[in-house]
Amino acid sequence: MNRKKILTSIMAFIFACNLIAGCQSKENEPSVPVMGTNIEDVTDAKTDITTEAAKVTQPEETTVTETVTDSTTAEEAPETQPEIHTQPETEPPVPPEPETEPETQPAPPPVTEADNNGNGSGPADYVSTTSKGYKIERIDGITYVDGIMMASKTYTLPASYDPGIRPEAYNAYLEMKNAAAQDGITLWIVSGYRSYYDQEIVYAGWVNRDGRDVADTYSSRPGHSDHQTGYTFDLNSLEQSFANTAEGKWLAAHCAEYGFIIRYPDGKERYTGYIYEPWHVRYIGVEKAKKITESGLSLEEYYGITSDYADSEDN
């Protein structure tokens, strides 16, 4: 249907409506037929126009294809991701084992007089290291630090240990004595080896005179005396003034050349446990004696060990 035909139909419909309205308003008037037209024709025309008009006003149906989505499924059903299985490219690395410090055995407790009962029994033998990493071991009741036999307030000797003067120490002393004589210096031994029981008598005498606390600053308890090692000599004098004599100065300057050290140096009381004894020399071998003397340290400082009695207030 084109626009012209639609417009003509509309005009005919309007004309028919007006005509019908006019006819109804003149209900009591005699009907007058229209020239060339009878009532049936008009009615048929009205019907045709009405039908045509209905076709005009009624929009053409349009077929619309609607896609219906299940909203419930879309909202409630979670989107399923495809399951993915992945394999690591390589096996996970095995974590390295933590580094551990070299195992060292803790130093045993100091040995007391009660450990020395005359038959050599005491704490069990052991091997460990000092605070400075030097080997310390106890063999048959005797403690050695870097191979040096120890006798101090911390380390004791069994009462049964009775070696007398050690030949290597005495031979070194004779060599040193002869060298000193060539320089016009005379050296002699005032006190050498003392056994456990000799020291017991000596120490008791000093305790009776000065009391235990004072005696402990210059005399050793039995089993703790450096003299019991057989490597120790007191030379010329037992007075600190010996340090200022020609003999005392020569000894301090040359004893290391023959394997000796001043065992209890000046100003080292807190480390050695004893007052300064310029006459007290201990044989440990030339190489070690030179190293310790040149370091300016006491034996205890050099090796990182202590010298304290078990009942000392310092422990």
**204-250, pLDDT tens digit by residue?**
999 999 999 999 999 999 999 999 999 999 999 999 999 999 999 99
Most confident of 10-19, 35-44, 69-78, 288-297: 288-297
Count of other CB atoms within 10 angstroms of residue 15: 14
Q: Is the confidence at residue 139, as pLDDT, over 90?
A: yes
Separation of first and last alpha carbons in the chain: 124
Give the confidence band of 61 by pLDDT, cuts at 50, 70, 90. very low
How high is the pLDDT of residue 17? 59
Give the least confident one: 18-27, 141-150, 235-244. 18-27
DSSP one-letter string for 37-103? --HHHHHHHHHHHHHHHHHHHSPPP---------HHHHHHSPPPPPP-----SSPPPPPPPPP-PPP
Q: Name the pLDDT band for 252 (thresholds 50, 70, 90).
A: very high
Region 76-102: mean pLDDT is: 42
Average pLDDT over residues 276-288: 98
Least confident segment among 29-38, 121-130, 274-283: 29-38
200 pLDDT above the threshold of 90: yes
Q: Per-residue confidence at 19, pLDDT binned at 50, 70, 90?
A: low
The predicted structure's pLDDT at residue 124? 84
Please name the residues in contact with 136: beta carbons below 8 A apart, sequence gap of 6 or more.
107, 127, 128, 129, 130, 143, 144, 145, 146, 305
6 pLDDT band, cuts 50/70/90, is low
pTM of the predicted structure, to 2 decimals: 0.64
User: Distance between CA atoms of 31 and 292, rounded to whole angstroms?
Assistant: 158
pLDDT (mean) for 86-102: 43
Confidence grade of residue 36 (pLDDT, cut at 50, 70, 90): very low
- Region of poorest pLDDT, from 42-46, 134-138, 230-234, 260-264: 42-46
Percent of the chain with pLDDT over 70: 60
Tell whether the torsion through CA atoms of 211, 214, 216 and 220 is positive or negative: negative
Report the chain's mean pLDDT, rounded to a whole number. Answer: 77
Q: Is the pLDDT of residue 123 over 60?
A: yes
- Give the mean pLDDT of 118-125: 58
Each residue's pLDDT tens digit, 171-182:
999 999 999 999
Q: Mean pLDDT across the stretch 262-289?
A: 98
Provide the pLDDT for residue 181. Answer: 98
> Per-residue pLDDT averaged across 259-271, rounded?
98
What is residue 253's predicted lDDT score, i.e. its pLDDT?
98
What is the rounded CA–CA span in Å between residue 53 and residue 6?
8
pLDDT at site 145? 98
- pLDDT for res 82: 40
Q: Given a cut of 60, is residue 267 above it in pLDDT?
A: yes
